[in-house]
Amino acid sequence: MYNPIRIPVDQLNEKEGTITFVVSKSNLFDEKIPTIRILEIAKNQTLFILERNSDFDLRFIQSNPNYNTKIARINIRDFCGSKKLFIAFTWSEKENTIYVGDYENELRSTKSIENANIKFRISKDGAIYQIGDEGIKVGFYRIKVGEEVVLEPTAKEIFDFQLEKIKILIENCKRGDFLFESTLAQHAIVILTTAFETYARTRFVELEKKRKINMDELYNRFIPERYRNQLKEEIRETASKEGKTELEIFVDRRFINFQDWESFKDAYNRGYGLKIGEIGISNDILLEIQKFIKWRHKIIHSKDNQTMINFEEVPPAEPIFTNKNLAEKGLNIFREFIGKFHENTHEMAGKTE
């Protein structure tokens, strides 16, 4: 972190704010220095950066894992001879703006644009990493320092990356070769439900940073009574040794099967008080999600061919074929559900992520 103008970070409002200062004596216009980082501060997961690049663009960057990075850019070459340069930047949920001016030139300003390719993330050891760049999109990242993993994607980033892979499969699926189409659709169903499980498990741990977890309820629901006290002690001891939370060890040991619908619902309800039926998703979507989870188990574990995924129900049910249409339907259903679910958990965490 770099905070030469001593901004009181603890008083920052992540949603909206304004910072102003005047530059008088500095190396801001030194052409020998290609890039100058003027400011780099973080509040929770929100990172604020002010820098001057080699083109003499002043860039105000706001980055957070829960929304696209906002970048406001303005060129300052015309102010090269300024004895005192006024700089201000504002941010809000709608847009950000950067202002530059001096006593001889009128105040100039530029509004921000969003860039989904560029992300800035804060690692466990406090370092800041840029993920992606102009025209370069990074779908997945994992950073190690020595033997320790210090930075990984968020639950939503992992899920979105899996959707991108499924979209590529679907887009390159040519109709006509039914066996190929059916194989692709079945693979898409497996990826979708695995992405759902990974998201649910990862998000469950993420939320603990912002909301108190009810561990007693989790033990009561997922650990048989005769093993409960013994496992509590083991989990707490392991957490202390490994520098993790009790919940992290509980989840790592797979006591909760997030690919089981009832376990998924109960975990979020017992742990955080979140009821899946109250997140604003229609019952039809919830039922479809459960169907796809069931179909995934059939595809993985059944000895039978799953070209017709509901063979046992036909008749009287109409046959459902594993084809491109079914893969597209699954993609849309899971995207809608996770989108709404993530929005609800974000609000539940108090939007401080």
Residue 175 has pLDDT above 60, yes or no: yes
Closest CA to 191 of 91, 300, 30, 270: 300
Residue 65 has pLDDT above 80, yes or no: yes
Q: How far, in Å, CA of 178 to CA of 327, rounded?
A: 13
Residue 83 has pLDDT above 90, yes or no: no
pTM as predicted: 0.86
Banded model confidence at residue 353, pLDDT cuts 50, 70, 90: low
Residue 176 has pLDDT above 80, yes or no: no
Percent of the chain whose pLDDT exceeds 70: 99
- Average pLDDT across the chain, whole number: 93
Domain ranges of the chain: 9-116, 154-348
Answer CATH for 9-116 from 1.20.58.220, 2.60.120.200, 3.20.20.150, 3.30.1120.10: 2.60.120.200
- The residue that leads in pLDDT, 105 or 132, is 132
The pLDDT assigned to 348 comes to 84
Calculate mean pLDDT across residues 187-203.
Answer: 97
Q: How far, in Å, CA of 257 to CA of 189, rounded?
A: 18
Closest CA to 67 of 1, 141, 135, 14: 14
Q: Residue 76 is encoded by which pair of tokens?
A: 């300052």
Q: Residue 172 is encoded by which pair of tokens?
A: 């390159």
Phi, psi of 34 (to 5 degrees): -65, -40
The pLDDT assigned to 66 comes to 84
Core vs surface per residue 209-243: b (16+ CB within 10 A) or e: ebbebebebbbeebbeeeeeeebbeebeebbeeee
Residue 352 has pLDDT above 50, yes or no: no
The pLDDT assigned to 291 comes to 96
Total residue length of the chain: 353
End-to-end CA distance of the chain: 19
